[in-house]
Each structure stands twice: as structure tokens, then as C-alpha cells.
Amino acid sequence: MPGLKKVYQDMQDFFLPLWPGEDKPLVLGEGKADGPALMLIGEAPGETEVLKRRPFVGKAGKNLDEFLLLAGLDRAEIFVTNAVKIRPTQIGPTGRARNRAPNKEELTLFTPWLMKEIKAVKPRALVTLGGVPLKVLCGPRAQVGALHGQWTESLAGVRLFALYHPASIIYRRSLAPVYEQDVLSLARSLQEKA
Ligand code: URA
């Protein structure tokens, strides 16, 4: 089984020639890369993540800190990554690039690399944030509205706990207590299994 360093090297070699003339740097995962208690998987990096070449910094980093605090975990104990490693953008009305959801082509390109990443990191559990990584790991019919807050089998062969994406709470305030309860029940379940 290739280690994470080799997977990331192969991934860089694969993606480098793909978008000629466009700067689409990869934002790789980081954290405890050998058998962490959990691997947290977001959707895709945003502007700050690309600038810093690190996942979950900037606004999303605040969400991550809140998650860690609620779950009683340390960032250094877990591995953090995204389903798609480039920032998907579209040009907004002001002419500036803004985030969009990853498209089918991006998901198809990145999914095999996510699977290799999981095999190399060997987390004891996966936690997905939002519908995008959940569908990647459990199939296109998986719905975060139905599966959040519970353990599910994943296509990667590692059990998965689905959460709403913390950013979605900004648009749907009613999800805030649901998200909080889900994180607390994840924390309880991890403690029981520890
Ligand atoms: N930043 C990330 O790295 N991932 C997300 O899902 C959102 C913001």
C-alpha cells in the first residue's frame, strides 16, 4: 500500500498537466496521517485555503475549531482533507471569482485520489461535512438530510459519520442545534469506542 507522500506526489504529477494556463493549485490534506481516530472530509478549498495551501483555514477554520471544541478533539489528532483538492470557482456579477459547488467532472477526477488517500492514512472513522463528500463516499443516492448524525458504511470500507456542512448553518439557522447535537453524539460514540 503506497504511503501518503507517494499518493500526494502521484496526484500532483497527474493534475499538473490537466489545466494548462490556469492556476489551480492543489490543497492537500494535513494532520495525523497514520491511523487517526478520524478523518474529516470537506467539500473543496476556498480562497483562503488556496492562498495558504492548507485545508480549513480562514472562515472554514473557525467552523473546524468549533467542531473540535464540541467534539473534544485536537486538530493535531485528526486528519483534515477535502473531496476535491482545487477551488471550484465561477465569475460573479462583479467580475470576481467566487466559490461554486464542485461539478461532476471534478468529482470524477478527484474521487479515486480520495480513496487512495483514505487507504494511505488508515483513519478509524470518516466524518463528512455536507452532501458532496457524503455522496462521493456513500453513492449518489445518499442524502445528508437522511443520514446525518449516524454511522453509515462507506465505499472506502471505513465507517462514516455524516454531518451537515457547518457553512450551511449560516443560510439555514434551524440546522444549528441539529449540527450541534450530531457533533455531540459523534463525540459520545468516539469515547465509547476509545
Ligand atoms: N474550506 C475547506 O477546506 N473545505 C470546505 O469544505 C470548506 C472550506
Per-residue pLDDT tens digits for 61-109: 888 999 999 999 999 999 999 999 999 999 999 999 999 999 999 999 9
CB of 2 closer than 8 Å to CB of 120: yes
Residue with cell 487517526: 36
Does the C-beta of 40 come closer than 6 Å to ligand 1?
no
CA 25 / ligand 1 centre spacing (Å) = 15
DSSP state letters, 67-84: HHHHHT--GGGSEEEESS
* Predicted structure pTM score: 0.95
Look at residue 60 in the predicted model and tell me its pLDDT. Answer: 83
* 3-class state of residue 130 by DSSP: coil
For ligand 1, the distance from its centroid to the CA atom of residue 91, given in whole angstroms, is 19
**pLDDT beyond 80 at 118:** yes
Q: Is 127 in the pocket of ligand 1 (CB under 6 A)?
A: no
Predicted confidence band of residue 59 (pLDDT cuts 50, 70, 90):
confident
Predicted confidence at residue 61, as pLDDT, reads 87
Determine the average pLDDT of the residues in 42-61: 93
User: What is the mean predicted confidence (pLDDT) over 43-64?
Assistant: 92
Ligand 1: centre distance to CA 42 (Å): 5
Q: Which atom of ligand 1 is nearest to the CA of 56?
A: 3
160-163/89-91 β-pairing:
unpaired
Q: How far is CA 26 from CA 16, 82, 83, 129, 176, in A?
A: 9, 10, 12, 19, 31
Is the domain covering 4-16+28-193 a CATH 3.20.20.10 domain?
no
**Range in 4-13, 38-47, 58-67, 119-128 the model is least confident about:** 58-67
Domain boundaries of the chain, sorted by first residue: 4-16+28-193
Our mutation pick for probing the ligand 1 site, out of 27, 39, 40, 43, counting the most ligand atoms within 8 A of Cβ, is 43
State residue 19's pLDDT score: 82
Contact 162, 147 (CB under 8 A): yes
Contacts of residue 88, Cβ cutoff 8 Å, sequence gap at least 6: 44, 99, 100, 101, 102, 103, 106
Question: Cell digits for 140?
Answer: 449518489
Three-state SS at 121: helix
CA of 49 to the centre of ligand 1 (A): 8
For residue 42, name the pLDDT band (cuts at 50, 70, 90): very high
Any atom of ligand 1 within 6 Å of the Cβ of 45: yes
Centre of ligand 1 to C-alpha 194, Å, is 27
pLDDT at 194: 67
> Is 82 a pocket residue for ligand 1 (Cβ < 6 Å)?
yes
Q: Which atom of ligand 1 is nearest to the CA of 43?
A: 6
- For residue 60 and ligand 1, the question of a CB distance below 6 A is answered with yes
Q: How far is the C-alpha of 131 from the C-alpha of 128, rounded, in Å? A: 8
pLDDT confidence band for 110 (50 / 70 / 90): very high
Residue 193 has pLDDT above 90, yes or no: no
For the record, the C-alpha cell of 113 comes out as 485520489
Pairing verdict, β 151-152 and 79-82 = unpaired
pLDDT tens-digit series, residues 138-174: 999 999 999 999 999 999 999 999 999 988 888 888 9
Q: What is the DSSP letter of 139?
A: -
